[in-house]
Amino acid sequence: MKKKTLAACGGIVSPPAAEACGLDRTDKRPAAGRGTDISTSFIRHRKLGCGKASGVIGCLFLLALGVLLLTLTAVNQTMAAEPQTWVDGLPGAWVSPKYCDPYVDYNCPAPTLKPKDLKAMEQSGHCDPYVDYKCLDTVLGNDPFTRFIRYYELEWGKAVAPADPNAPAGSRPDSMIAPTPQATPPMPFTEWPYGGTQNIGKTVPNSVDSPLMVAIANTALGKAMTDAHIQVYGWIEPAFNISTNTTRPGGNLPVSYDYTPNDVQLDQAVIYVERLPDEVQLDHFDWGFRVSTLYGVDGRYTTAFGLFSNQLLKQNAVNIFDLPMVYWDGYFPVFQGVNVRIGRFISIPDIEAQLAPNNYTYVHSLTYTWDNYTNTGIEFTEALSRNWTLQQGVTVGTEAMPWHWGAHVLNPYVISGSNAAGLGPGVDPLFPGTSMLKDPGAMPSLTLGVRWTSDDGRDDLNFVMDAWNTGTWGYNNLQWIGFTYYHKWNDYWHFAFETWNIHNYDVPNLNNAAASALIANNGTPFSPTFMPFNAPNAAFCGGPSSFNQIIPGSKLTCTTDTQTFLLYINYSPNKLNNFSIRTEYFNDYYGQRTGVPTAYTDIALSWQHWFSPQIEMRPEIGYYYSINQPAFNGDANAGIPPTKNTAVIGAADIIIHF
């Protein structure tokens, strides 16, 4: 049986070494951390100054963040100076001596047997594929259903898959590329996320640890797929939440993906069909592809205008089908490797990502919820050295489809000669003329990114401008600029920080009576006749104090921007558990992202527990505060205004991979 599906750790048997080769459970491939990248956020907004109420909170947040980072740095120096006083990332006095499990604990030697002992074990009839990989088929059996169930049983309670000693190396040597910083489990990635590409130097075919692929491996179909380097796998993710909000649906917004309070939901049922290129080698061209299907509540967030989007925009469906990723990858052995991706793919910023296994926590930060999700176009990624990677892309905006570029729809307001805005019959200064662009944001857009990784792999910086164009108001035409920074202190502790700024131009002003009337009476491409539900927000150009007010003499449109700061601190006592503290400050001064002009701050504590590399649960509790006015417990689609400044939400999901 060809067992490349189990690991890509080239001759590595010990679990710690298998982890070091980059076995990535979130992307189900070695060292292929996904769907995130970053950018540097320039705090350009004048309202962030300490003279404003929200600015004071922002300054206090930044001060607290600085103190926290300084404290953690001091702790790191203490740990480095006195390593013998620390156990499992905690002071030794706090931790009792314990049994060392090589399949769960960090820095625990794997069991080894001499050849004569292996032979004796085989003769005795006892079989452990973690020690003697040759006996895997004996343990699993022959028929696919039995193999499927027994593979879950085999991995239960362990953090790694049995390692095939004959599988190709899953990474270039550390002398050529930075070491893999994390392991999955318990993290949602092995490489610091940067997205828009495979992990160059750490991706090989047939490397997904999938019970389904193991189950069919001995069949004619399974052998043909293995020979073609094609794998099929996925997961299901049910979840629930308990909230102080009560409005259903939508009362938890702007928090996501648990947007309806006190509910049980199917977040994601996902299937991938993919071929991974060999990007470890440097001597020949290779190619790959991915087609992903998603069904569930989370499809409400991945929807791109023009691709199955009527489910969200015209029906307001709860569960939505989507194709969040459909792309082709080409790998060229130039520099240290060049990846070219063509199709629809995850936007390259962010610590977090759309697909459930790629996140520390179940509930997303506001920072992630309200920024770019997917782009469609072409992305180039060049690994120039072990430290530097460049990215460039040309896409059709964000959450936009190529066939909407230049597409027009009729303007009912002008054609009917309406005077609802009081500017004269058929006069529409927002979109003059009898026709208007269907999605003004669907246009050629530029992405630029640069990534730096330290020699030891413990530090990673990404600066990105994602999908920049004229910045005009569109379906989700976000001009994103920001950065992420990751730092690993040791196997137990690391943090991830992200900040970004998003701006839009020519956003209709809801404080202006004419602009509001034009939107309500079908004078824009996002008016009710075109998008009765979940249309892009306009803005309260007067800021938080102008919420839901008409201000005589106010301008028709304005430029909006949103600023955010996000921090994750992670402690992992072993390879099956991780604890995350997430805190953020999110300033939606004009309300263009969340619909309410206010700044937010929140803090959440999450536990990610893996029963095996295939099954994970993530309980958490979060406190969310809207600083300027109520932002929770409303439903914009039903015209129900928010009534609460605070929300406490407990939630949990379970991810079952197959």
Assign residue 501 the CATH number of its domain.
2.40.160.10
What integer pLDDT is reported at residue 27 of this predicted model? Answer: 37
Does residue 187 lie in a domain region?
no
Each residue of 130-183: pLDDT tens digit?
Answer: 999 999 999 999 999 999 999 999 999 999 999 999 999 999 999 999 999 999
Q: What is the three-class DSSP state of 120?
A: helix
Report whether pLDDT(413) > 80. yes
Pair 236, 280: CB distance under 8 Å: no
Rounded (to 5) percent helix, strand, coil in the chain: 20, 30, 50
Domain ranges, residue 70: 15-74+227-657
Q: What is the three-class DSSP state of 230?
A: strand
- Comparing 489 with 17, the larger pLDDT belongs to 489
Does residue 207 lie in a domain region?
no
Question: Which of 159, 247, 170 shows the shortest CA–CA distance to 203?
Answer: 170
What integer pLDDT is reported at residue 88 of this predicted model? Answer: 64
Each residue of 256-274: pLDDT tens digit?
Answer: 999 999 999 999 999 999 9
Does residue 7 lie in a domain region?
no
Q: How far is CA 537 from CA 10, 127, 408, in A?
A: 51, 61, 20
Query: Which DSSP string do the residues of 499-514 spell out, in sequence order?
Result: EEEEEEEEEEBTTSHH
Does residue 168 lie in a domain region?
no
Report whether pLDDT(205) > 80. yes
Q: What is the mean pLDDT of the chain?
A: 89
DSSP H or E run through 162 = none
In angstroms, the CA 652 to CA 654 distance is: 7
In angstroms, the CA 502 to CA 399 distance is: 15
Does residue 306 lie in a domain region?
yes
Pair 233, 24: CB distance under 8 Å: no
Report whether pLDDT(411) > 50. yes
What integer pLDDT is reported at residue 321 of this predicted model? Answer: 98
Mean pLDDT computed over 525-551: 98
What's the domain count of the chain?
A: 1
Does residue 82 lie in a domain region?
no
Structure tokens at 195: 């997205």
Q: 40-69 burial by CB neighbour count: b if 16+ within 10 A, else e?
A: bbeeebebbeeebebbebbbebbeebeeee
In angstroms, the CA 656 to CA 274 distance is: 19
- Comparing 64 with 395, the larger pLDDT belongs to 395
Does residue 352 lie in a domain region?
yes
In angstroms, the CA 539 to CA 535 distance is: 13
In angstroms, the CA 540 to CA 548 distance is: 8
What integer pLDDT is reported at residue 59 of this predicted model? Answer: 53
pTM value?
0.86
E strands, 109-197, are: none
Binned at pLDDT 50, 70 and 90, residue 46 comes out as very low
Binned at pLDDT 50, 70 and 90, residue 105 comes out as very high
Mean pLDDT computed over 89-95: 62
Does residue 439 lie in a domain region?
yes
Question: Which of 41, 66, 176 shows the shortest CA–CA distance to 457?
Answer: 176
